[in-house]
Structure 1
Amino acid sequence: MTDSTPTPPPLPDRPAAEAAAASAPEAVDDTGVPRLVGEVDDIGRGFLAALFDISFTTFITRRLASAFYLVGLIAVGIGFIAAFFGGIIGGIRALWWNLGGGISLIVSTVIVVPILAFIAVVVLRFVIESVVALIAIAENTERTAQNTRES
C-alpha cells in the first residue's frame, strides 16, 4: 500500500502584498489586491452627486438603465393586461349585436395583443441598449482622449 496523504502546495517566495506592491505600488491596498479604478470606483461618489454634476463628466444613464427597463416592462405589462381584457370584454359585448364581429374581435385580441406586447418589449430593450451603448462609446472615447493627452 502507498501513502495517500496529499502534500501541501509549495509556498510562494514572498508575500502577496510585496509582490503586488512591486508591480504597481499606488494601485494596491494592504491585502495585496489591486484597487479598482474607473467606473467601479465612481459608484461610491453617490447618485445625487452625479445627478447634479452640471459639467456632465459623470454619466448616470448606465446606472438607471435597469430601472428604466423595469418601469418599461411594467408599463408594457399594464398595457397588455388592459388591451387584452378590454378586447375580450369588448368582443363579448359585441357578441350581443354581431356574432361574427364579436368572435373576430376576441380571436384578433388573443392573437394580436401578445404579439404587440412582445414587439414593445423588444423595442424597449433595443432603445435602452442603444442608449447604454452610446454612453459606453462616449466614456471609452473620453478615456482614449485622456490617455492620448498623457502620452
Structure 2
Amino acid sequence: MTDSPAPRTRKPKATTATPAAAAPDSPAAEPTVSPTAPALADQLLALDVSAVPGFFRALVDFRFTTFITRRIAGFIYAILLVSILLAGLVAFFSIVVTGVGLMTGGQPVSGVLTVIGALVLVPIATLVAVVLARMIVEVNVALVAIAENTAGLRRP
C-alpha cells in the first residue's frame, strides 16, 4: 500500500530585483491571470497535500499515487450487504402479502404458489446478489493490489 509518496517540494517563484518583488504580500508582487483549463489542471496536479492526513490526502491526490479502495472496501461491502438483505426482506414480505391477498381474494392456488415462490426464490436471489457484490468488491481490491505491487516496475 502506498500511503506516503515521496515528499514533493515546491519550486520557489522567480523574483526580480524590483521594489515590488521585495514585498511578497503586496498585490503588485503576483500578477493576476485567469487560469485556463490546462493551467488549472497543472495547478491541481501540483498541489502539495503532504500535510493532510492519509485518507483525506488520498481523496485530493489528483495524480492517483495513493489508493483508498483497500481502506473502504470493507465499508462498501457492509453497505452492499445490508442493502441486499433489506431488499430481500422487503421483497419477501411484499410477495407474501401479495400471496395472502390472492388467497383471500378468491384465488387460493395462485396465492399458495406465490407464497411458496417467495419462500424459495427470494433467499436464492438474495444469496446470488450477496455473492455478486462480494465478487465485485474483491475484483476492485485485487486490481488495486496489482496496481500497488507493480508500481515499482513502471518506467520513468
Q: TM-score range by the shorter chain?
A: 0.5 to 0.7
Q: 2:61 aligns with which of 42, 53, 74?
A: 53
Task: Give me the CA root mean square deviation.
Answer: 1.8
- For 1:49 and 1:91, the matched residues in 2 are separated by 53
What is the match of residue 29 of structure 1?
A: none
Q: 1:92 aligns with which of 97, 100, 119?
A: 100
Measured against aligned partners, the alpha-carbon deviations of 1:39-72 in whole angstroms (never above 9, x if no partner) come to: 3864x94211111111111111111100110000
* Cα deviation, residue 141, structure 1: 1.2
Quick check: 1:125 aligned with 2:134? yes
> Could you tell me which amino acid in structure 2 is paired with residue 128 of structure 1?
V
Quick check: 1:74 aligned with 2:78? no
- For 1:145 and 1:40, the matched residues in 2 are separated by 14
Measured against aligned partners, the alpha-carbon deviations of 1:72-122 in whole angstroms (never above 9, x if no partner) come to: 001001101100111111110110231100000000000000000000000
Normalising by structure 1, report the TM-score. Answer: 0.67
Q: 1:111 aligns with which of 120, 132, 142?
A: 120
Greater RCO structure (CA 8 Å; 6+ sep):
2
Normalising by structure 2, report the TM-score. Answer: 0.65
Q: Structure 1: any 5+ residue segments left out of the alignment?
A: 1-38
- Secondary structure of the residue that 1:58 maps to in structure 2? coil
Structure 1 segment 18-37 matched on structure 2, within 5 A: none
- For 1:143 and 1:125, the matched residues in 2 are separated by 29
User: How many residues matched?
Assistant: 108
> Could you tell me which amino acid in structure 2 is paired with residue 47 of structure 1?
F
> Could you tell me which amino acid in structure 1 is paired with residue 116 of structure 2?
V
- For 1:48 and 1:41, the matched residues in 2 are separated by 11
Where is the helix percentage greater, Structure 1 or Structure 2?
1
Q: Structure 2: any 5+ residue segments left out of the alignment?
A: 5-51
> Could you tell me which amino acid in structure 1 is paired with residue 148 of structure 2?
E
> Could you tell me which amino acid in structure 2 is paired with residue 69 of structure 1?
Y
